[in-house]
Every structure is written in structure tokens, then in C-alpha cells.
Amino acid sequence: MSILVDETTRVVVQGLGRAGLFHAEQCIRFGANIVAGVHPGRGGSEALGFPVFDTMREAVAEARPDASLAFVPAAGAADAVLEAIEAELALVACITEGIPARDMVRVADALRCSSTRLIGPNCPGVISPGKCKLGIMPGHIHKPGSVGVVSRSGTLTYEAVGQLSSLGIGQSTCIGIGGDPVIGTNFIDVLEMFNEDPETTGIIMIGEIGGTAEEQAAEFVKGRVKKPIVGFIAGATAPPGRRMGHAGAIISGGKGTAAEKQAAMEAAGIAVAPTPADLGSTLAALM
């Protein structure tokens, strides 16, 4: 089994620009069932064999998608997510980078009164290898299996997956939750789903400096998650007060340091990998 997406997931792609089309094609190659696209002004046309609609409402009426993959540019991305929430899609993965935080605060408000789950924004999306790729991760590095991977960083997710696959360890589902201050799905949400998924037998969780999401996740894990977990925190050597790329990755007021997060993980029984090159081997040793 897997979480969030599988072979039955019906995907709609929002935003069919250059990136949207390139990645839609890659998703189809790695097993996504794309049933529609939404691109205002291109309704009535076809792309890569699926019908394109002007609005999400039409796409839902005609093609019955249940998950969206959004590539809409930053200025209109929150609006696109709100449109997907209104259409009651079960899942939205928003890849877009650089969405104003204020727009995401409005989206977070809308999510609270809806049944939609948002992954991201500013993330690689989610993949259940061999079943469905709803994101921009390189499909070929994945291998179907039973390890769940969750990370705030896109390329570090690939790093973990690459290490696992080269050790012959497959993945149930891999999720990049995004590096922005306001995100739809956090570590705890994903850990809870992995914990309840009978076929996920081990977990890799990759955090980074800034905020307190990793500490809260560690607190959640304590006593509740019995599956082996390997953790890593990127940014142990980052100087305080400097934003390390991701809007959320900043040590401020002495809070959000890697040392605090690693200590919280260890206290919760999470095996902290000594370096980012040891993610796969640390998990292999536990399983």
C-alpha cells in the first residue's frame, strides 16, 4: 500500500506552461493517470491526450479528478489552490515557488474549512513509486517498496531516495512538504499516515533549521510511532540570522538550530544520520 496517491488517483494538472507540460509528461511516464488539465483560455483543447478546461469546475464535472498538480506561477498560485479547494479535490500538490506568505495564510484559512489536503507549496510533490507520480521528482531513481520518506527539502528527498534505491530498499510513498513558512501538510500529518499504513515499515524524515516543526514532530513520534525512523536536519553549520534559501530556514533569536532539533529527535527514539550521505545506510541498519 501507499499513502495519498496510488494507481486509482485521477489527476488534474493546473497550469500547462512549459514546466507544467514537461512534468505532466514525466508523470504519465511514471504512472500518473492524468484525466484533465486546467488552463484559463485554453479550454476545449487537448494536451498530451487529456482534455483541457478553462475552469476547475468544468474539469471536475467532465473528468472527475480527485488530485491536482499545480504549476501556476506565484502571483496566481494561491488562487489556483483556492479553486481546487472549492471544487473539493481530495489532494492538491502545489509545486510553485515564491508564493507570498499572505496569500498562503488565506489558503490555510480555506483549508481549515475543507476536506482538501494541500502538499506544499514550494515542494517536489508526492510519489508512490510504481503507482502514481504527482510531482517533479526524477521518477527513475525510485523503487516500489516499504519505506516512507518525508522532507522539507526537494533535492534532499531525492538524495534519500537515491541512497535507498541503490541499497535495494524501495519506497512506499515519498513526500516533499515544502520549505515555506506556511504549508498545507506538515511532518506530523505525514508521520501519522505512515504510521497507519500497514505496508510502510520504516520512515526517513528530513528537516532543516528554522521553526519548530521538527521538534513538534519528534514529540508526536514519542511513544506513538513504533516503526523505525531515521532523521536528519540540514543546516547544522548555517550561521544564525541568515535565511538559507527557503523562506522558513532561518535561525532567529537562538531558536530553530539543528542541535535543538537533533536532540528532540534523539529523545524521541529517532536515529539521527550523522551526515546526509548516511540516510540510507542508517535506515538499512535499523530494518
Residues with a known catalytic role: 246
164 close to 144: Cβ distance less than 8 angstroms = no
Burial class (CB in 10 A: 0-12, 13-18, 19+), 277: exposed
Which of residues 227 and 246 has its CB atom nearest to another protein in the complex? 246
Tell me if 247 contacts another protein by CB under 8 A: yes
In Å, the largest CA–CA distance within the chain is 56
- Dist CA 152 CA 168 (whole Å): 24
**In this complex, which beta carbon is closest to another protein, that of residue 40 or of residue 138?**
138
Instruction: Give SS3 for 17.
Output: coil
C-beta of 197 vs 208, nearer to another protein: 208
Q: Rounded to the nearest whole angstrom, what is the least distance from the CB of residue 58 to another protein in the complex?
A: 28
Q: Give the three cell numbers for residue 201.
A: 515499515
Tell me how far, at minimum, the Cβ of 75 lies from another protein, in Å.
6
Pairing of strands 171-176, 202-208: unpaired
**Of the listed pieces 3-11, 174-182, 190-198, 217-225, which binds another protein according to CB under 8 A?**
174-182
CA dihedral 236, 227, 176, 209 (to 10 degrees): -20
Per CB under 8 A, which region of 37-45, 51-59, 152-160, 221-229 contacts another protein?
A: 152-160
Contact pattern for another protein over residues 112 through 151, marking x by CB under 8 A? ------------x-----------xxx-xx---------x
What's the distance, CA 34 to chain centroid? Answer: 18
Q: For residue 100, how far is the Cα from the chain centroid?
A: 19
| 209 within 8 A of 257, measured Cβ to Cβ | yes
Neighbours of 19 (CB within 10 A): 14
Contacts (CB under 8 A) with another protein, residues 67-106: 74-75, 97-105
Q: Which of 131, 142, 152, 227 binds another protein (CB under 8 A)?
A: 152
Binding positions for another protein, rule: CB under 8 A: 19, 23, 74-75, 97-105, 108-109, 124, 136-138, 140-141, 151-156, 158-159, 162, 179, 181-182, 206, 208-209, 211-213, 216, 232, 234-239, 241-242, 244-249, 253-254, 274-278
